[in-house]
Amino acid sequence: MNEISELRKRYLVLINSADTDSALEDVRIKALGKKGEIALKMRELGKMNMEQRQAQGPVLNALKEEINNLIKTQKDNIEGQLLDSRVASEWMDISCSTRLSGGGSVHPVTQVTEEVIAIFSSLGFKVADGPQVESDYYNFDALNIPPEHPARQEFDTFYISGDEDDQTPSNVLRTHTSPVQIRHMQQVNGPCRIIAPGRVFRSDYDQTHTPMFHQVEGLAIDTDISMANLKWVLEEFCRAFFEVETVQLRFRSSHFPFTEPSAEVDIRCSWVDNQLKIGEGNDWMEILGSGMVHPKVLEAVGLDSDKYQGFAFGVGIDRIAMLKYGIPDLRSFFDSDLRWLRHFGFSGNDYPALHSGLSKF
């Protein structure tokens, strides 16, 4: 009996002082393993007489259970301490301010392009694309601007010349997005409605001109399209884009070789305290060129001009960005001045959509 209480005491100490899982496991094997001290004691029961066995048996069993329980409790303690020390060493101060992201902003040209796409998409127009380095043919000839045409001079074209003895026709940096009309009509050879936003290039530089700027071309071809459709589409676009209930557009007779009749479109506006207001007032601001696609252009792409007709327009993206967001100097768009970009830039979350800001029709 004494011996067993001795054993018990010894193991109480051993278990309590085991401070790792593996030390505890050693203690467990030493006590309860096959060759452990308790097992040996159990084996001794066999040599005892009935009386002794009946007395010793339950005591040993109780000890076995007690030691088992103590080991379990100690195991929990060790795990608890481990967790405590991890919590103490791995904590994180979530009240700390986050690292300054210095994040970029969305350039007004990108923002306005997305706005234009959102609006025309809702009117059933798809987005088309074309190369910025264009052939003479697509930029001029196919658009009814033959080599001797004076309009070629007006465009201040950047020519890309090959080697001196290179006989291939020269390429140009496209001076407008109109060549995308040609490429697209060649592709679909029938009815279509597209817009084509992109970069264009002209050798010109002042407060309202930069050698590279952006346009969005519009084109709708079908068998029953009239100038009235053009007017409606442009009015709907302006209303949504400038986010004003009423817009008034003025179609001024004009001339482009690739449209007939042609019209430049002005929007009613006013200047109040040096601030431009779109939609009301006594001033007019030119915003785009447009017209009915010239029969010669239709024929250049193999469309029957007796059957098909359509409208086209070209809007200066930077120009309408300046108007909508009150940006005074076009050149600043392309200076990459961080202060300007932070001021006029948009948050990436500010994704334009008709249901989130752009006015509904």
Residues contributing to the site for ligand PHE (CB under 6 A): 176, 178, 256, 259, 289-291, 312-314
Contact 178, 217 (CB under 8 A): yes
C-alpha atoms less than 13 angstroms from C-alpha of 299 in its C-beta half-sphere: 6
Nearer to ligand PHE, 38 or 143 (CB): 143
Q: Which residues contact 57 (CB under 8 A, 6 or more apart)?
A: 45
214 versus 239: smaller Cβ distance to ligand PHE: 214
Supply the minimum distance, in Å, between the C-beta of residue 106 and ligand PHE: 25
Tokens matching residue 143: 């658009």
- In whole angstroms, how close is the CB of 307 to ligand PHE at the nearest point? 21
223 in Cβ contact with 307 (< 8 Å): yes
Smallest gap from Cβ 133 to ligand PHE, in A, equals: 17
122 phi/psi in degrees, rounded to 5: -70, -15
CB of 217 to ligand PHE, least distance (A): 6
Q: Which is nearer to ligand PHE, 111 or 157 (CB)?
A: 157
Give dist(CA 156, CA 26) in Å, integer: 90
Cβ atoms 106, 345 nearer than 8 A? yes
- Shortest reach from residue 313's CB to ligand PHE, in Å: 5
* Least Å from the CB of residue 314 to ligand PHE: 3
Closest residue to ligand PHE, judged by C-beta, is 314
Residue 74 or 290: the one with the smaller Cβ distance to ligand PHE is 290
Instruction: Name the DSSP class of 281.
Output: S
Of 74 and 181, the one with the shorter C-beta distance to ligand PHE is 181
Q: How far is the CB of 248 from ligand PHE (least distance, A)?
A: 20
- With CA atoms as reference, report the closest residue to 171 among 143, 203, 136: 136
CA distances from residue 197 to 68, 258, 318 in whole angstroms, order as listed: 78, 18, 11
What residues pair up with 172 in beta bridges, in sequence order? Answer: 134, 159
Q: Is 40 exposed, middle or buried (0-12, 13-18, 19+ CB in 10 A)?
A: exposed
Q: Which is nearer to ligand PHE, 28 or 214 (CB)?
A: 214
**261 preceded by cis ω (within 30°)?**
yes
Give whichever of 311 and 344 is closer to ligand PHE, judged by the CB atom.
Answer: 311
Taking the complex as a whole, the smallest distance from the CB of residue 224 to ligand PHE amounts, in Å, to 20
Residue at 286: amino acid letter: E
Write out the two tokens for 217: 């071309």
Residue 39 identity (one-letter amino acid):
A
Which residue's CB is nearer to ligand PHE, number 176 or number 184? 176
